[in-house]
Structure 1
Amino acid sequence: MAQVTDLHISSNIPLPAPALLLSEVERSRKQAEFMAESRQHIRNILNGEDHRLLLICGPCSIHDTEAGIEYAKKLAQLAEEVKHQIYIVMRVYFEKPRTTTGWKGLIMDPKLDGSDNIPEGLRQARLFLREVIDLGLPTATELLDPITPQYIADLISWSAIGARTTESQTHRQMASGLSMPLGFKNTTTGDLVAAVNAIKAATQPQTFLGVSEQGVASAVTTSGNPDCHIILRGGDNGPNYGADDVAVTTALLEKHGLQPSVMIDASHANCGKQQEKMPAVFREIVRQRAAGNQQVIGAMLESNLVAGNQKFPRPIEELTYGQSITDQCIDWETTEILVRNSAEQLKAAGVAG
Structure 2
Amino acid sequence: MPDQDTLPTPGEVAADHVVATAVARHRETVAAVLARRDPRLLVVVGPCSVHDPAAALDYAHLLATAAERLSDDLVVVLRAYLEKPRTVAGWTGLLPDPTLDGKGDIAAGLRLGRTFLLAAAATGLPLAYEFVDPMLAHYVADVVTWGAVGARTVASQPHRHLASWLPMPVGMKNCVSGRVDTAVDAIRAAGLPHAFPGVAADGRLTTLRSAGNPDAHLVLRGGPTPNYHAADVAAALAALTAAGLPARVVVDASHGNSGKDHHRQPGVVEDLAGQVADGNRALVGVMIESYLSDGRQDAGAGTPRPDLSVTDACLGWDRTVPLLETLARAAARRRATG
TM-score of the alignment, normalized to the shorter chain, above 0.5: yes
Larger Rg: 1
Q: Which residue of 1 aligns with 2:13?
A: 21
Q: Which residue of 1 aligns with 2:328?
A: 343
From 296, 319, 324, the counterpart of 1:334: 319
Q: Deviations over 1:311-347 (max 9, x none)?
A: 221221xx23311000010010010111113212332
Q: What is the CA distance between 1:10 and its match in structure 2?
A: 2.0
Alignment of 1:295-314 (within 5 A): 295-314=282-301
From 107, 112, 115, the counterpart of 2:103: 115
1:76 aligned counterpart, secondary structure: helix
Q: What is the percent sequence identity of the aligned residues?
A: 41
Q: Deviations over 1:142-187 (max 9, x none)?
A: 0011111211100000010000000001100111100111000000
Q: Which residue of 1 aligns with 2:127?
A: 139
1:208 aligned counterpart, secondary structure: strand
Alignment of 1:159-198 (within 5 A): 159-198=147-186
1:242 equivalent in alignment to 2:229: yes
Q: Distance in 2 between matches of 1:71 and 1:331?
A: 10
The one-letter code matched in structure 1 to 2:5 is I
From 282, 297, 305, the counterpart of 1:320: 305
The one-letter code matched in structure 2 to 1:256 is A
Q: What is the CA distance between 1:71 and its match in structure 2?
A: 0.3
The one-letter code matched in structure 2 to 1:151 is Y
Q: Distance in 1 between matches of 2:337 and 2:97?
A: 41
1:10 equivalent in alignment to 2:14: no
Q: Give ranges in structure 2 of 5+ residues lacking alignment.
A: none
Query: Is the 1:205–1:223 contact (alpha carbons within 8 Å) kept by the matching residues of 2?
Result: yes
1:46 equivalent in alignment to 2:38: no
1:269 aligned counterpart, secondary structure: helix
Query: Is the 1:110–1:118 contact (alpha carbons within 8 Å) kept by the matching residues of 2?
Result: yes
Q: Which residue of 2 aligns with 1:59?
A: 47
Query: Is the 2:270–2:326 contact (alpha carbons within 8 Å) kept by the matching residues of 1?
Result: no
The one-letter code matched in structure 1 to 2:17 is R
Q: What is the CA distance between 1:240 and its match in structure 2?
A: 0.1
2:128 aligned counterpart, secondary structure: strand
Structure 1 residues 352 and 321: CA distance shift in structure 2, 3 A: farther
Q: Which residue of 2 aligns with 1:268?
A: 255
Structure 1 residues 274 and 168: CA distance shift in structure 2, 3 A: same
Q: Give ranges in structure 1 of 5+ residues lacking alignment.
A: 1-8
Cα RMSD after superposing both structures: 1.4
Q: What is the CA distance between 1:284 and its match in structure 2?
A: 0.9
Q: Which residue of 2 aligns with 1:128?
A: 116
Q: Tell me the TM-score normalized by structure 2.
A: 0.97
The one-letter code matched in structure 2 to 1:305 is L
Q: Distance in 2 between matches of 1:166 and 1:143?
A: 11
1:232 equivalent in alignment to 2:223: no
Query: Is the 2:220–2:250 contact (alpha carbons within 8 Å) kept by the matching residues of 1?
Result: yes
The one-letter code matched in structure 2 to 1:176 is S
Q: Distance in 2 between matches of 1:53 and 1:112?
A: 35
Q: Distance in 1 between matches of 2:305 and 2:3?
A: 34
Q: Which residue of 1 aligns with 2:271?
A: 284
Q: What is the CA distance between 1:13 and its match in structure 2?
A: 2.1
The one-letter code matched in structure 2 to 1:322 is D
Q: Distance in 2 between matches of 1:155 and 1:349?
A: 31
Q: What is the CA distance between 1:119 and its match in structure 2?
A: 1.0
Structure 1 residues 272 and 157: CA distance shift in structure 2, 3 A: same
